[in-house]
Chain A
Amino acid sequence: MTLTAQVKKRLVTIALVAPASLWLFVFLVLPFIAIIVFAFGERGPVGGYQPAFTFEQFANLGARAAAFVNTLVLAPIGAAACLLVAYPVAYYLAIKASPQRRLLLVSLVVVPFWTSLLVRTYAWMYILGARGIPHLLEYIGFDNVRLLNTPGAVLLGIVYGYLPLMIMPIYVSLEKLDRRLLEASADLGAHPISTFFGVTLPLSLPGVMTGIALVTILLLGEYLIPQLLGGGKVFFIGNALVDLFLQSRNWPFGSAIAVTLVAVVVVVLLVAMRIAWRIAGTRQVDLV
């Protein structure tokens, strides 16, 4: 290969990655630098940002402790609730359902994604609102039950919105599972329950981990569900950020919270990856 051919090859490579690099730089790296700079600044006299170098914003994070607590409590609980509902469905789809019906049933899990989450969440506002379930409850003697704008409503919205995202990875890992293992376990006289805990569950753990990590991370930045089903009372970090940037216009403090949120996401991700590795590691040991 001549030198010019090598140069040419390198130029082609650069041309191939150039647009994406530009995007990553201008719309990821640069904005991220901007919010880090802002996080050390001060609120302007009528809101917005004015340059400064202060740790005041980070020192003040405690003022949004409730939002962090709400998010860090409800995100894992939401993910766990999703898992409890999703696992039996994924199990049914992968193991029990007949192959002909499986395709239809799996598609039906995905279809809700094609209507706006906003509109579907709005439908829950109606179902939980005074003219929905509480109205039906009046017929059996429970007057003025309030469901909307409670943490329970937010949790329900979370399970509803993220269920498909939890079902799919678990389904995929269960579907790959070698059915002969289940048969072997049964042949060896194992009780179905011990087969489940001894064989099925451990083998589906990677899917479970993917689902939990995916749902938890998305929930950490959630805004719409707490806003619509929590009535601005069940406040997530996402709600605090919208408030700080679009209403109370304290951009530096908002930036500090955004930077902290990203740090939380990274920590959650690292923990999830470490657990995933450990699961993969023990399985290898088992096989040896």
Chain B
Amino acid sequence: MRALVTFVYVFLYTPIALVVLFSFNAGRNASEFIGFSAQWYGKALSNTFLMEALRNSLIVAFTSAALAAIFGTMAAIGMERLGARTRAVFDGLFAAAIVVPGVVIGIATLVALVEVFGFINPVLAAIWPGDQPPRLSLGYGSIIAAHGLFTMALVTMIVKARIAGLGRDIVEASSDLYAAPLTTFRQIVLPQIMPSILAGFLLAFTFSFDDFIIAFFVAGSNTTLPIYVFASIRRGVTPEINAIATMVLAVSLALILIARFLMREKKKPTT
């Protein structure tokens, strides 16, 4: 059994080890290891297309995760106060947003936005006073919106589960003490649900940062990191891609460790 488990871990980590190894390849090719060199890190960091793709991905992931965290938490709290039937409709829609395959979300958003833009752009052009009317088109906005749908549903689910576990008595006990609801919320509820909001934000960020298929349909002329990587794989990868992947891995590992450390610090007094 131990042997099997060891084998699975080797299986999981061999490709990652190869990615890291080839990021230090002295050769031009990502499939033949010649010797050690850190040159691809320099090349990756000075490749403007790659850096722009990375920046786009960070902007998109951060914005959609932040929107998802805020609006998703609001929805989770708001749904507590809805009637059973309305709440069921929301539950169903959020579940649909999670379950519908990414490829369908991408397609449906593309189709809908193309239609909506086709309707709005001529109207804008007609009513715009200046020479150059703004034209709506696919880009950052559409990726953020499409990612936001899935991640908002994700945050809502996570926060709702936490609120359900909270126990109404805490909230009610606090309002019995004649605290205004907003103060109750800030002092009692928010600290309790904060870990789940953060967890939701992180999941949302990871999802959006790694998503290829939705962005592939709705990115328009913008390139995200996964789209850039996909195109490079087709043309033949240089170790630049390995270098950037290794850096992303290193940064996220550092973040996990920091998060672990912070949570341990916080937990100490209570345990």
Contact = CB atoms under 8 A, between A and B. Distances in A.
Asked if A and B touch directly (CB within 8 angstroms), the answer is yes
Interface string B2-29: 1011001101111110110010000000
Contacts of B107: 35, 241, 245, 254-255, 258
B97 A28 contact: yes
Contact of B99 (A24, A92, A164, A269): A269
A232 B75 CA distance: 41
Contact of B229 (A118, A125, A126, A254): A118
A114 B249 contact: yes
B256 interface: yes
Nearest to A117: B210
A119 B229 contact: yes
B103 A223 contact: yes
A261 interface: yes
Contact of B152 (A14, A20, A113): A20
Interface residues of B, number: 73
B65 interface: no
Nearest to A258: B104
A88 B4 contact: yes
B104 A17 contact: no
Secondary structure dominating the interface of B:
helix
A112 B96 CA distance: 27
Interface string B209-245: 0101100110000000110011001000100011001
Nearest to A121: B15
* Most B C-beta atoms less than 10 A away, residue of A35, A122, A129: A122
A238 interface: yes
Interface of A: 9, 12-17, 19-21, 23-24, 26-32, 34-35, 38, 49, 85, 88-89, 91-92, 96, 105, 107-109, 111-120, 122-127, 129, 131, 160, 163-164, 217-218, 220-221, 223-224, 228, 237-238, 241-242, 245-246, 251, 254-255, 258, 261-262, 265-266, 269
Interface of B: 1-2, 4-5, 8-9, 11-16, 18-19, 22, 30-32, 70-72, 74-75, 77-79, 81-82, 90, 93-94, 96-97, 99-105, 107-112, 115, 145-146, 148-149, 152, 156, 206, 210, 212-213, 216-217, 225-226, 229-230, 233, 237, 241-242, 245, 248-249, 252-253, 256
Q: Which 4 A-B pairs have the closest CB atoms?
A: A221-B101, A16-B78, A31-B108, A123-B15
22 contacts: A20-B75, A21-B90, A24-B93, A28-B96, A28-B97, A31-B112, A88-B1, A96-B1, A114-B252, A116-B226, A116-B245, A120-B19, A122-B19, A123-B15, A124-B15, A125-B233, A126-B22, A163-B12, A221-B102, A255-B107, A258-B107, A261-B101
Given A126-B18, A131-B32, 15 more contacts: A19-B71, A19-B74, A28-B93, A29-B93, A108-B12, A111-B253, A111-B256, A115-B19, A119-B242, A123-B18, A218-B101, A221-B101, A241-B103, A265-B100, A269-B99
